[in-house]
Structure 1
Amino acid sequence: MSATPHAEAAPAHVGGGNPLLWVLALVAIGFAIARPRPPIDYLLLIDWQTIGALAGLLVITQGVEKSGMLQAAAARLLARTTELRTLVFLLTASAALLSALVTNDVSLFLLVPLTRVLAAQAHLPLARLVVLEALAVNAGSALTPIGNPQNLFLWRRSGESFIGFMGMMAPTVALMLFWLFLAIRFLVPRAPILLKPAGDAAPMQPRLLALSGLLFIGFVIALDRHWLVAGLAVVLGVFLLLRPRVLLGVDWALLAIIALMFVDLRQLAELPAIASLLGQWTIAEGWRAYLAAIVTSQFISNVPAAILLERYVHDLPALAAGVSVGGFGCVLGSLANLIALRLAKVPHGLREFHRISIPFLLVCAASALLLRL
C-alpha cells in the first residue's frame, strides 16, 4: 500500500449507487424464499433502538453541516496544521478518545463530516483518512463499557466494575492503538498540506448551529433515559417545521442498509447449521474463544457475534477481546466501519478500507493472541 500525499476530494455523491443495499436486499429475499416467516417477524429482527438513534444523529449531523460551522472549523485547523501526518495523528487520536467517551458511532458523526470538509479545502487522501478513523474508533471504543454496544452487553453479563472492565480491556486496546499509530507512520507521509484554491465560503448560519447543538444534547439525554421515540419525534418535528431542507440531505439509504443487515445477519446466526457448528467447537475459553469471536465477527458483525457466542464462551476477557479485534477486517465486522464509509461519501471506499483493514486485522489478531496464551 503506497502512501500518496494527495488524493481527490469526495464528490457530492458516492459513486456506484448503493450496491451493498442491493446485495443485502437480495440476501433477504433469498432467506424469505428458503426460510419463510410471518412478515411481522422481519420487523422484529431489526434493532429499532439502533435505527432510531442513528436516524436522529444523521439528521442533527446534517444540520451541523448545513450551518457552515464545519467549513469554518476546517479552515482554522488547516491554518494551524501544515503537515499531513500531524493532521492524521490529530484526527485519529481524537476519534479514539471520543469513541471511548461518547461511543464509536457518535464520534464518527462528529469527525467524519469534518474530515470530508477538510478534504474539500485541501488535497488530502480522504478515503485513507476515514479508514484510519474507523480503525481508531473500533480500537478506542473497546476500552470502556460504554464505548460500543458489544462492550455494554458483555459488561452487564460480567459483573465487573466500570474500572475493572477497563483494566481487563486495556492490554488489548493498547496493542490495537500501538499498531494503529505505527500504521499511520507508514501509510501517511510527512508531506506539507497543499490547500485548494479558495472558493466561495459557505455562509455561516449560527441559528442552525445552535439549534442542532441543542437538539444533539437533548437527543443524547433522551437516548440515555430510554426516551428514543420522544427524542426522535422532537428532532424530526423541529427540522420539518423550521429547516425542512436539512431532511432532504440525509443519507436515508444508510438506515435501510443497517436495517437489512439486522434482518440478514440475525437470520444467518439462527441457522441450525451455525448453532450445530458452534456447539461442536471447543471454544469455551482461551485462545479458541478469542479466535472464534474474531472469525464470527467477520460474517455477522461483532455485536451479534458477542450475543451469539456468549452462551458458548465462558472466558469473558477472551470474548471481549475477540469481538473488539473482530471489528477490523471485513467491513461487516463492525457497524462503525459502514457508518464511516457512508458518511465519507468517497468512491472506492470499500476497496481502500479492505486494503488497510484486512492486514491490520491479521497483525492485531496475531499480537493480541499472545495475551491469551
Structure 2
Amino acid sequence: MLAVFCLTYYFILSNKFKTSVMVFLMGLSVSFTKIVDSMTIENLPKFIDFNTIGLLAGMMIIVGLLKAAGFFQFVAVMAVKWGNGNIRKTLSIIVITVALLSAFLDNVTTVLIFAPILFFISDAVGIDATYLMISAIVASNIGGAATMIGDPPNIIIGSASKLSFTSFIVHLAPICVLILILLIMLWFRKVPADKGMEDKLKQLAATDPKAAIIDKKRAVALLCVFLAVIVGFSLHKFLDYEMALISMAGATVSLLIFGKSFEEATKEIEWDTLFFLIGLFMITYAMKETGIIDYITKVVAAVHSPYLLLTVLIWLSGFASMFLSAVPTTTVMIPVVQSLVQMGVSPTVWWALSLGVSLGANGTTIGAAVNIVGIALLKKYSNNVVSFGYFVRKTMPMTLLILSLVNLYVILMYYISW
C-alpha cells in the first residue's frame, strides 16, 4: 500500500499525466488488487465522503450560474471603482474582495474572475502582472482558510470533524483577517504611485459596473439563493441537515431559476476536482486499514506536550501542503487527527491542521490548485513564466511569518480553552 501511496504522489507532482485521472485510477487499483477487502461497491460510503462531494458539486453549480449571470464580474468592476484612481487603495480593495469571495466560493473561480482586471491594471499602469497575480493567489488562500466552504481542505476537515460552519468562522476568521491586513501593509507599501497611474485608473474606474450584469433579475434571485444556502450552512447543526443536502437543494433551485437542466449543469461542475478527491479518499482509507495511518499517529502522538503537538501539526501540515499540495496532505492527516482526538487530545488540533494546510499552501507553486491556475494564467495571457524558485523567493518569507502567527494563535486558543 505504501508503494501505491508513493506512486500516487509521484503522479501528482510530476504532471506527466492528467492528475485527477491518475489519482482516481490509483484509487481503483487498490480495489482491484483487493489490498483492502472491505473496499467494495456496497461499502462506498465507508471510504468516500459523499457529504464533501455533494457539498462541492452543489456549490460549483450555484457559483457557475452566478458567474454566468455576470454577478462576479460586477463585483470585480466595483472593486476597481471604489479605488477611485488611487493605486494602493485599488489593489487593497481588490485583495480584500478576492479574500472575501474566496471565503465562500471556490478559490480558482475567484482568481479566474479577477485575472482580467489584474492584467488590465498591469497593462494600464505598468505594474508587473506577476506581482499582482501572486497577491491575488495569496489573498485567495487566506480568504479560503477563514470558513468551512472556502477551500477543499476545510470542506473535507469540516465533514470529518463534524464541527459546525459557524465554529469554523468564529475560530478561523479572526486570524485570517489579521493576516490579510498584514499582507496589505507589507505587500503594497512599496507600490509606486504617480499622477499618470491615477489618471489611467480613474478611466478604468469610470466603467459602469451594471454593464457586467447579463440578467439582472436572475442574478438577484440567484444571489438570494446563495445567501440562503450560507444561512442554511450556519444553521445546519440546529436544523440537523447535512451541508451537502443544503448545497444540492440550493443548486437545484438555482437551476430552476436559470431554466437549466441537470445535463446542462454538468458544465458548471469541476469533475476533475471531484474524481481527484474520490481517488484520494480511496487511497487514504486503504492506508488507514493497512495500518500506515496508525503508525503516523503513533509518531505524532509521541509528542506529549500539547503545545509542542500543536506546533508540530501546524508546521508538518504547512510544509507538507507546500510540497505535496493541500488536498492530498489533508486527506492523509485527517485520520491522524481523528485518532488523536479519540485519544483525548483537544479538538484544537483540527484548527491547527486547517490553518497549517490552507496557509502553508502559499509557499510554493504547487501548494494549492489556485496557485497552479494563477501561474498558468500568467503564462497564457501575459507571457510571464514564473519558476518554482521565483515563486518561493517571493512568498516563502510571508508564508513563514503567517505560519508563525498561526502557531501563536492556535496555542492561545488551546491555553484559553477556546
TM-score category by the smaller chain? 0.5 to 0.7
1:364 aligned onto 2:395: no
Contact 2:24 2:280 in 1 (8 A): no
Distance 1:179 1:119, change over 3 A: closer
1:92 is matched with which residue? 95
Report how far residue 53 of structure 1 moved.
2.0
Report how far residue 275 of structure 1 moved.
1.1
Report how far residue 29 of structure 1 moved.
4.5
Contact 1:135 1:328 in 2 (8 A): yes
Report how far residue 106 of structure 1 moved.
3.0
User: Matches of 1:358 and 1:45 in 2, distance apart?
Assistant: 35
User: Matches of 2:63 and 2:251 in 1, distance apart?
Assistant: 14
Report how far residue 356 of structure 1 moved.
5.4
Contact 1:140 1:177 in 2 (8 A): no
Report the structure, 1 or 2, having the larger helix content. 2
User: Matches of 1:323 and 1:179 in 2, distance apart?
Assistant: 20
The counterpart of 2:336, out of the listed 293, 308, 319, is: 308
Runs of 5+ consecutive residues of structure 1 not aligned to the other structure: 1-15
User: Matches of 1:140 and 1:350 in 2, distance apart?
Assistant: 28
2:215 is matched with which residue? 205
User: Matches of 1:310 and 1:215 in 2, distance apart?
Assistant: 34
CA deviation string 1:88-123 (max 9, x = no partner): 322333455567xxxx34374884454134236443
Distance 1:49 1:115, change over 3 A: same
The residue type equivalent to 2:60 in the other structure is: L
Contact 2:337 2:349 in 1 (8 A): no
CA deviation string 1:43-75 (max 9, x = no partner): 642222222222222222222222234334433
1:136 is matched with which residue? 142
1:288 is matched with which residue? 309
1:275 is matched with which residue? 294
User: Matches of 2:292 and 2:273 in 1, distance apart?
Assistant: 30
1:19 is matched with which residue? 18
1:329 is matched with which residue? 360
Contact 2:47 2:281 in 1 (8 A): yes
User: Matches of 2:219 and 2:17 in 1, distance apart?
Assistant: 30
Report how far residue 327 of structure 1 moved.
2.0
Distance 1:74 1:319, change over 3 A: closer
Distance 1:127 1:319, change over 3 A: same
SS at match of 2:402: helix
Alignment of 1:163-174 (within 5 A): 166=170, 173=176
Alignment of 1:113-152 (within 5 A): 113-119=112-118, 121-123=120-122, 124-125=129-130, 127-141=133-147, 148-149=154-155, 150=157
- Using the size of structure 1 for normalisation, the TM-score is 0.67
Distance 1:319 1:43, change over 3 A: closer
Contact 1:328 1:360 in 2 (8 A): no
The residue type equivalent to 1:289 in the other structure is: L
User: Matches of 1:247 and 1:170 in 2, distance apart?
Assistant: 32
1:185 aligned onto 2:204: no
Distance 1:169 1:48, change over 3 A: closer
SS at match of 2:358: coil
- Using the size of structure 2 for normalisation, the TM-score is 0.61
Contact 1:287 1:318 in 2 (8 A): no
Q: Which has the higher contact order (CA 8 A, sep 6+)?
A: 1
Report how far residue 171 of structure 1 moved.
8.3
Distance 1:273 1:182, change over 3 A: farther
The residue type equivalent to 1:308 in the other structure is: V
Report how far residue 204 of structure 1 moved.
2.5
2:50 is matched with which residue? 48
User: Matches of 2:23 and 2:387 in 1, distance apart?
Assistant: 15
SS at match of 2:316: helix
1:35 is matched with which residue? 35
The residue type equivalent to 1:46 in the other structure is: I
Report how far residue 264 of structure 1 moved.
3.4
SS at match of 1:327: helix
1:60 is matched with which residue? 62
User: Matches of 2:58 and 2:226 in 1, distance apart?
Assistant: 8
Report how far residue 138 of structure 1 moved.
4.5
Contact 2:24 2:278 in 1 (8 A): no
User: Matches of 2:73 and 2:120 in 1, distance apart?
Assistant: 8
User: Matches of 1:274 and 1:331 in 2, distance apart?
Assistant: 26
User: Matches of 2:175 and 2:79 in 1, distance apart?
Assistant: 32
How many residues align? The count is 341
The residue type equivalent to 2:303 in the other structure is: I
My pick for the range that moved more, 297-306 or 148-157, is: 148-157
The residue type equivalent to 1:295 in the other structure is: L
- CA-based RMSD of the aligned residues comes to 4.8
